[in-house]
Amino acid sequence: MDWKIELVFVPVSDVDRAKRFYADQLGWNVDHDQTVSDDIRFVQITPQGSACSIAFGKGLVDMPVGSQRSVQIVIADADAARAHLLKNGVDASEVDEQPWGRFVTFSDPDGNRWTLQQLPKRD
């Protein structure tokens, strides 16, 4: 039986600001933006090439805003990813070189932290 993670919720304070950040600054695809009622709005966004999306909105989660800190995204080139972030106005860390990969971190406007990992070359 396959178990596939397909959606990760991200707690945000301002849905429109978060949507602009993830879509316009990061360049991720907006899959859905549905207002169900005055109390519920669902936005789903997918990073290019990912099988897993993120979701945020109004009335969806009870996590504290900015508390998502444990999602890691695999990328092909840490330097290129960092350059993309900086070019689009996203404050990104320097590339952190480790034996198990090259890492870049950044946060969204609410403080949700993301880690990018360039995997090491394997024999």
The domains found in the chain, sorted by start residue, are 7-61+68-118 (3.10.180.10)
Flag whether pLDDT at 26 surpasses 90. yes
d(CA 97, CA 108): 23
Structure tokens at 70: 């444990």
Is this structure's pTM higher than 0.85? Answer: yes
Mean pLDDT, all residues of the chain: 97
**Which tokens go with 51?**
């099988």
pLDDT at 122: 81
Residue 121: its pLDDT value, please?
86
56-105 pLDDT per residue, tens: 999 999 999 999 998 999 999 999 999 999 999 999 999 999 999 999 99
